[in-house]
Structure 1
Amino acid sequence: MTDASENPNTVAAAQWLADQKEQPAKAVPTIRERFSLSMKEACEACALAQKYRTARRAFG
């Protein structure tokens, strides 16, 4: 099993998603199309984006 942070497209999608003021209503289909990700990669990007948001709130 690979780590989501090993795929540059997954990381880019997570960063983009974390930077949005409001998460798109259909985040997974949106980032799948925008970043050419599989369903699994898009879900990993969503989870990673949440970690980014949490870290930003905790550490500024």
Structure 2
Amino acid sequence: MTGLDHEHSAAIDTAAEWLAKSSRDRIRRPIITELRERYGLSVAEACEVCREANLRRARAA
């Protein structure tokens, strides 16, 4: 994995952790927009974050 890939993986992991722990009621705007602005992600990366956060929530249940 290159340094750039590692940086993106870290951003996705950090964002997924935040999203999995955040209450959906507290997020007042579209989540893709929120993730892109908060973590500097592309649309595809923001979608990956949503997928990963959903998996984490399911494992925790």
If the length of structure 1 is used for normalisation, what is the TM-score?
0.79
Aligned partners of 1:16 and 1:36: how far apart in 2? 14
- Runs of 4+ with >4 A deviation: none
1:3 corresponds to which residue? none
Q: Which blocks of at least 5 consecutive residues in structure 1 are unaligned? A: 1-5
| Percentage of pairs with the same residue | 33
Aligned partners of 2:30 and 2:36: how far apart in 1? 10
How far apart are 1:39 and its partner, in Å? 0.5
Count of residue pairs brought into register by the alignment: 52
2:48 corresponds to which residue? 44
If the length of structure 2 is used for normalisation, what is the TM-score?
0.77
- Give the greater-gyration-radius structure (CA): 2
How far apart are 1:20 and its partner, in Å? 0.6
Q: Which blocks of at least 5 consecutive residues in structure 2 are unaligned? A: 1-7
